[in-house]
Structure 1
């Protein structure tokens, strides 16, 4: 029964942590998007009138990001997709090839290991140490 309680409490604790971090990430993302929106508006307002694009005057961008009907991000975060691509296309293959190389080297060392020679070397080493103590 104690294992069940430990597993259950672990699930509850991990669920609470996941919920907390998910909300924290969503809040941080919305704050970042709000700052980007405000900075974009400031930059657009600072442009001279002859350089402003007609699409900039579109009223859709003037809506505050948090007042939109769907405040959740519409596009994936670029850094997250870049990280996912790095892991899938570079980290995993590199890790896999390094792992395979180390396993192959270990297997070669184990198959070429001479037990009788190692025992003789260990025996002579112990005898030399024993004779030097006397």
Structure 2
């Protein structure tokens, strides 16, 4: 009975953690999509303004500019590379190492041998 209770408790905890991670990923994804939409609209506005300025004044050039022309893109890129990807990678690594640890500690070959001896050979394992 204690094993069933601990297993059920473990499943509930794992389900709650998975739900929380899924919620965090959905929230962060929506935030990134919103930021990317803002960047797209800003870039579209900048492109439209640059085209009109270039038409009005052909001497304007952005080639020698030291100002970052796409600050929102750089911000989104740094967010994805510094926070989102490591978070997903860390979560993935934790889950894989936990699954491998559980598989190693489960004594699966011993259980398989016992089932084989009892069910196939018809002998009791002593």
Query: TM-score under structure 1 normalisation?
Result: 0.39
- Which of these two proteins has the greater Rg computed from alpha carbons? 1
Q: TM-score, normalised by structure 2?
A: 0.40
Higher relative contact order (CA 8 A, sep 6+): 1
